[in-house]
């Protein structure tokens, strides 16, 4: 490739997403104030700074020597061990930093791997802030990926507002493999649907209209429940969540 890559488009004068007449019109990169967002590449980790780690595992979070930064969470109690990651200060029952409102799309993405797929249940996405995995593993509100069967290797996708009953779920949207990184993403379009993808390939969508979208506060979240005789190690490469500002 060399120093110059012909496949790269170089915008030497910058790229602005603001109106030219706006005070920030001359800003030479995309407007950082347009979205409320969290992105963590886990180049470092201090519990309580950006994320809280909750659950009943005595195993401390660890940073792995993997390019790009990887955070490892581990369970340590067979069949009932739980470890979860959520934004700092948003302990169970707290007010969440996000919500699903008409005209305000929501974005979520994570890249991760588990050492044992069959032996673990897990859930991750943007869900109700008062969610407690120790009490009930399925959230009441939000959108999420999950695997809720210890003998299963497939992942499901769901969206739900508890007021309107059961979650709208697409089952077995992808098959996961032990110790193999995968990415999972979804976008709520702010109108009627949540589109989801695995490894960057759109797999489908579920219905979530602006009328029945959750009004409750939501948080980005990731939780793993152990179901085997050995510890479940979850390696998180990055986690991203964003929503357009009001």
The reported pLDDT for the residue numbered 108 is 95
The single residue listed with the structure tokens 């479940």 is 232
CA distance readout (Å), 127 to 86, 116, 135, 158? 10, 24, 15, 11
Neighbours of 240 (CB within 10 A): 17
DSSP 168-216: EEEEEEEE--TT--EEEEEEE-SSSEEEEEETTEEEEEEE--TTTS--S
Residue 169 Cα to chain centre, angstroms: 17
Identify the residue whose tokens are 């069949």. 79
Neighbours of 106 (CB within 10 A): 26
Q: 186-200 pLDDT, tens per residue?
A: 999 988 899 999 999
pLDDT digits (tens, 9 = 90+) for 81-117: 888 888 887 654 455 678 888 888 999 999 999 998 9
Contact call for residues 134 and 225 (beta carbons, < 8 A) = no
Residue 101 DSSP symbol: B
Distance in angstroms (rounded) separating the CA atoms of residues 67 and 138 = 33
One CATH from 3.90.1150.10, 1.10.40.30, 2.60.200.30, 2.60.120.200 for 36-244: 2.60.120.200
Give the E-state strand segments of the chain in sequence order.
35-40, 51-55, 62-64, 70-74, 82-87, 106-114, 120-128, 141-147, 154-161, 168-175, 182-188, 193-198, 201-207, 218-226, 233-244
Instruction: Fill in the DSSP letter of residue 104.
Output: B
Per-residue pLDDT of the chain (246 residues; tens, 9 = 90+): 577 888 888 888 888 888 889 998 888 888 888 888 889 999 999 888 888 888 888 888 999 987 778 999 988 877 778 888 888 876 544 556 788 888 889 999 999 999 989 888 899 999 887 777 667 677 888 899 999 877 889 999 998 887 777 778 889 999 999 999 999 999 999 888 999 999 999 999 998 877 777 777 888 888 888 766 678 899 999 999 999 887
- Could you tell me if 99 and 216 are in contact, meaning their C-beta atoms sit under 8 angstroms apart? yes
pLDDT at 94: 52
Per-domain residue ranges of the chain: 36-244
Question: Residue 30 and residue 16: Cα distance in Å, rounded?
Answer: 5
């Amino acid at each position: 490739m060399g120093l110059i890559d012909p496949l790269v488009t170089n915008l030497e004068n910058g790229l602005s997403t603001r109106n030219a007449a706006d005070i920030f019109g001359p800003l030479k990169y995309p407007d950082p104030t347009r979205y409320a967002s969290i992105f963590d590449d886990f180049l470092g980790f201090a519990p309580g700074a950006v994320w809280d780690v909750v659950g009943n595992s005595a195993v401390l979070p660890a940073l792995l020597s993997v390019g790009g930064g990887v955070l490892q969470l581990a369970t340590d109690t067979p069949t009932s061990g739980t470890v979860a990651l959520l934004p700092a200060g948003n302990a169970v029952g707290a007010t969440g930093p996000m919500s699903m409102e008409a005209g305000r799309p929501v974005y979520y993405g994570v890249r991760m791997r588990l050492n044992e797929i069959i032996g673990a249940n897990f859930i991750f996405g943007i869900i109700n802030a008062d969610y407690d995995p120790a009490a009930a593993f399925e959230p009441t509100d939000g959108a999420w990926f999950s695997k809720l069967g210890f003998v299963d290797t497939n992942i499901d996708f769901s969206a739900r507002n508890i007021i309107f009953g059961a979650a709208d779920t697409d089952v077995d949207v992808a098959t996961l493999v032990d110790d193999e990184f995968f990415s999972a993403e979804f976008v709520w379009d702010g109108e009627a649907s949540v589109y989801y993808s695995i490894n960057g390939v759109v797999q489908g969508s579920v219905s979530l209209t602006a009328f029945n979208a959750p009004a409750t506060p939501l948080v980005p979240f990731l939780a793993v429940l152990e179901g085997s005789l050995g510890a479940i190690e979850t390696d998180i490469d990055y986690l991203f969540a964003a929503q357009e500002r009001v």
